[in-house]
């Protein structure tokens, strides 16, 4: 059954009060792909009485936050599965018209900066009740951070929200430890030693031996120091060697305890096999047009997460600072038990949509040295080339996939979350790529080359484009051998720090030569906490201290984006302008290599291609 969402639910369970009330910015979906569901189920499994307040009304008064009464121990607040500002605004800062984590996709059911608003309302209603915050929004704002929407550096969300404790990362162990210590009679102000948490204290009470970042005041006015601070934060996000981090926030000191160790295989199995209802709460009813009441469930309802963490270390990705680079995975038996459960659910048609995770084909630590030494501070495991110590082995993953294919009732097992193609190439065996092609692609495989310029890829922390080309060649060869017509869906990014118009032109030529037709491209989105965002705000590479060009002018960003869809007639004027600015007018004309025709009445010294000239195929869509 679902956890209580009303006094009536509490009464049916014989509760006069909750131990913990969990306040979520998402609709209540009790599924292991939703972070609020995982945390509430973990607390429930630990023996605590947990109630859920999903998307309470916040505009008029704090009354909605009183619906379940004052909890015995604390409130816990999470903005939801994604940052509320990202959920609400496009990279152009336009308001989105659809919210997949709200009933019916409706917008406006949670506030901007959801965590802060909820905390303020809770403190109005229950000034003396502890408030613990967590989730992606809080986790990535735990230090002084650049806020793209205000174009300013803001203090830690722990200070701006008025919360008492902040849990960063995945949080299962931390929330249970906090709850147990509160249950034992400790005050929230006395809970300072829990790994994976942050707290504020007077500077005189700062713990000894921590590594200090430049203060909020300094990073707010000095962009070089902001870049330095971002690097320090990244360097210490390791459970084995990470140190306590400190950062002065106005009159208080922010203390980040070292990260919580990743869950063991047995612990991860238990988390994913808790008694989730695996659907939205029935209070949302059934939509008039059919489909799920909360749209976000549709993609993951029949998917299985088999791993956590990503040692890819992409500069623009939030995983490094939130979930971490250390990989952990579930047992084969646990994954199979979940798949067998899925085959019994209403609506299952024989298709497992994904057996994946942050990176689908990671199951083991990247090397044998991690257990004792942790992950390297300033080295990436895969980029620009795989580390000599990398252990690339898909044996376990293949074993899981093969067994999944044999589960009665399963027709097909797809892999739809990202595959790290450079890691697949590093495996001495081609078995994984061959079986991927033969059994686990639904006609199109998602890959993320992101760019083709070596300069941009180095700043992204991605492999050079030659790795993608080698994988694509092998993929298409094996697809042909298997008698399958299959394509690649490339994820491409415009305007990432380091990308000039010249780099965007290079990417446009790559798209042309590879016969790609991306249906859409993503502008770089500067979200709190990432190295790429530090580059965007500061203009410096935190790792080298060198200046980095950043496209910030909306018109230039529009030109870079247009170049990645140069074949769309709507983009012709922008493409011509971009090519002229980049001094690449050789690509304006009628030749086979040209990207765009001259403007009406314009001249070109390029000859028209022969009428029977084969045009680039239009079959590899994003």
Contacts of residue 113, Cβ cutoff 8 Å, sequence gap at least 6? 84, 85
Contacts of residue 525, Cβ cutoff 8 Å, sequence gap at least 6? 86, 91, 148
8 A C-beta contact, residue 153 and residue 216:
yes
> Considering just the CA atoms, what is the radius of gyration of the chain in Å?
25
β-strand 152-154 against 20-24: which pairing, if any?
unpaired
Question: Average per-residue pLDDT in the chain?
Answer: 94
pLDDT at 128: 96
Last-in-domain residue among 156, 177, 197 = 197
Distance CA(66)–CA(279), nearest Å, equals 25
Q: Give Dmax (Cα) for the chain.
A: 84
Q: Is residue 607 predicted with pLDDT exceeding 50?
A: no
Average pLDDT over residues 524-544: 97
In a domain, 496, yes or no: yes
Tokens of 539: 């203009």
Residue percentage of the chain with pLDDT more than 90: 92
Measure the N-to-C terminal CA separation of the chain; round to a whole number of Å: 40
Residue 610 confidence class, pLDDT cut points 50, 70, 90: very low
Distance CA(517)–CA(497), nearest Å, equals 24
In a domain, 207, yes or no: no
Task: Domain count for the chain, please give it.
Answer: 2
Residue percentage of the chain with pLDDT more than 70: 96
Strand positions, DSSP E, 142-297:
145-147, 152-154, 165-167, 197-201, 211-212, 245-249, 252-256, 279-280
pLDDT at 454: 97
In a domain, 98, yes or no: yes
pLDDT in tens, 398-446: 999 999 999 999 999 999 988 999 999 999 999 999 999 999 998 899 8
Task: Centre a 10 Å sphere on the Cβ of residue 585 and count the other Cβ atoms it contains.
Answer: 15
pLDDT in tens, 19-55: 999 999 999 999 999 999 999 999 999 999 999 999 9
SS3 state at 215 = coil
Characterize 370-401 residue by residue with b for buried, 16 or more Cβ atoms within 10 angstroms of its Cβ, and e for exposed: beeebbbeeebbbbeebbeebebbbeebbebb
Last-in-domain residue among 197, 223, 250 = 197
β-strand 444-450 against 487-494: which pairing, if any?
parallel
User: Of 63-72, 86-95, 604-613, which range is least confident?
Assistant: 604-613
β-strand 29-30 against 279-280: which pairing, if any?
antiparallel
H or E element at residue 308? strand 307-308
Last-in-domain residue among 172, 197, 222 = 197
In a domain, 403, yes or no: no
pLDDT at 601: 56
What's the pTM? 0.93
pLDDT in tens, 363-407: 999 999 998 999 998 889 999 999 999 999 999 999 999 999 999
Average pLDDT over residues 561-585: 96
Tokens of 415: 């892999």
In a domain, 255, yes or no: no
Task: Centre a 10 Å sphere on the Cβ of residue 93 and count the other Cβ atoms it contains.
Answer: 12
In a domain, 338, yes or no: no
Q: Is residue 296 predicted with pLDDT exceeding 50?
A: yes
pLDDT at 618: 41
pLDDT in tens, 168-204: 999 999 999 999 999 999 999 999 999 999 999 999 9
| CATH code for position 173 | 3.40.50.280
pLDDT at 616: 38
In a domain, 27, yes or no: yes
pLDDT in tens, 452-472: 999 999 999 999 999 999 999
In a domain, 293, yes or no: no
Residue 136 confidence class, pLDDT cut points 50, 70, 90: very high
* CA 23 to each of CA 115, 348, 409, 543, 560: distance values in angstroms, whole numbers, following the listed order: 9, 31, 38, 38, 40
Host domain of residue 142: 7-197
């Amino acid at each position: 059954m679902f956890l209580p969402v009303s006094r009536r639910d509490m009464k049916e369970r014989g509760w006069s009060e909750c131990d913990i009330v969990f306040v979520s910015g998402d609709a209540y979906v009790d599924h292991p792909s939703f972070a609020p569901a995982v945390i509430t189920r973990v607390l429930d499994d630990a023996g605590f009485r947990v109630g859920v307040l999903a998307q309470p009304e916040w505009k008029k008064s704090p009354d909605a936050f009183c619906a379940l009464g004052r909890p015995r121990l604390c409130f816990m607040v999470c903005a939801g599965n994604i940052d509320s500002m990202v959920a609400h605004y496009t990279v152009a800062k336009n308001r989105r018209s659809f919210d997949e984590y709200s009933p019916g996709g409706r917008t406006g059911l949670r506030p901007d900066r959801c965590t802060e608003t909820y905390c303020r309302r809770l403190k109005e209603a229950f000034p003396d009740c502890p408030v613990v915050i967590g989730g992606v929004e809080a986790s990535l704002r735990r230090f002084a951070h650049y806020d793209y929407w205000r174009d300013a550096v803001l203090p830690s969300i722990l200070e701006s929200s008025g919360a008492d404790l902040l849990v960063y990362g995945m949080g299962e162990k931390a929330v249970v430890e906090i709850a147990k210590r509160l249950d034992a009679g400790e005050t929230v102000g006395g809970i300072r030693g829990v790994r994976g948490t942050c707290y504020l204290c007077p500077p005189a009470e700062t713990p000894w031996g921590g590594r200090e970042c430049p203060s909020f005041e300094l990073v707010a006015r000095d962009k070089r120091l902001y870049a330095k601070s971002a690097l320090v934060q990244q360097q210490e996000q390791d459970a084995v060697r990470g140190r306590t981090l400190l950062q002065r926030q106005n009159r208080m000191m922010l203390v980040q305890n070292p990260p919580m160790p990743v869950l063991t295989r047995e612990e991860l199995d238990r988390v994913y096999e808790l008694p989730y209802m695996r659907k939205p709460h029935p209070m949302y009813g059934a939509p008039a047009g059919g489909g799920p009441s909360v749209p976000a469930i549709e993609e993951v309802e029949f998917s299985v997460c088999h791993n956590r963490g990503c040692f890819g270390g992409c500069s623009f990705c939030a995983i490094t600072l939130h979930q971490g680079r250390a990989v952990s995975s579930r047992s084969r038996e646990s994954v199979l038990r979940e798949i067998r459960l899925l085959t019994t659910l209403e609506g299952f048609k024989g298709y497992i949509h994904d057996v994946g995770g942050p990176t689908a084909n990671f199951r083991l630590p990247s090397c044998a040295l991690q257990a004792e030494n942790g992950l390297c501070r300033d080295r990436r495991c895969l980029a620009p080339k795989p580390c000599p110590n990398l252990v690339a082995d898909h044996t376990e993953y293949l074993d899981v996939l093969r067994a999944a294919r044999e589960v009665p009732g399963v027709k097909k097992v797809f892999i739809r979350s990202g595959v790290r193609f450079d890691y697949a190439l590093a495996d001495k065996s081609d078995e994984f790529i061959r079986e991927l092609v033969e059994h686990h692609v639904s006609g199109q495989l998602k890959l993320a080359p992101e760019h083709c310029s070596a300069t941009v890829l180095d700043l992204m922390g991605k492999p050079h484009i030659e790795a993608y080309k080698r994988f694509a060649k092998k993929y298409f060869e094996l697809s042909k051998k298997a008698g399958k017509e299959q394509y690649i869906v490339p994820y491409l990014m415009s305007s990432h720090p380091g990308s000039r118009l010249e780099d965007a032109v290079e990417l446009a030529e790559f798209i042309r030569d590879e016969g790609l037709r991306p249906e859409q491209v993503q502008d770089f989105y500067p979200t709190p906490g990432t190295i790429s965002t530090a580059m965007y705000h500061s203009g410096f590479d935190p790792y080298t201290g060198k200046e980095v060009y950043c496209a910030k002018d909306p018109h230039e960003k529009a030109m870079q984006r247009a170049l990645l869809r140069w074949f769309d007639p709507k983009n012709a004027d922008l493409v011509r302008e971009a090519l002229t600015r980049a001094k690449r007018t050789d690509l304006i004309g009628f030749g086979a290599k040209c990207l765009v025709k001259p403007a009406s009445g314009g001249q070109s010294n390029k000859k028209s291609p022969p009428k029977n000239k084969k045009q680039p195929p239009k079959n590899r869509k994003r």
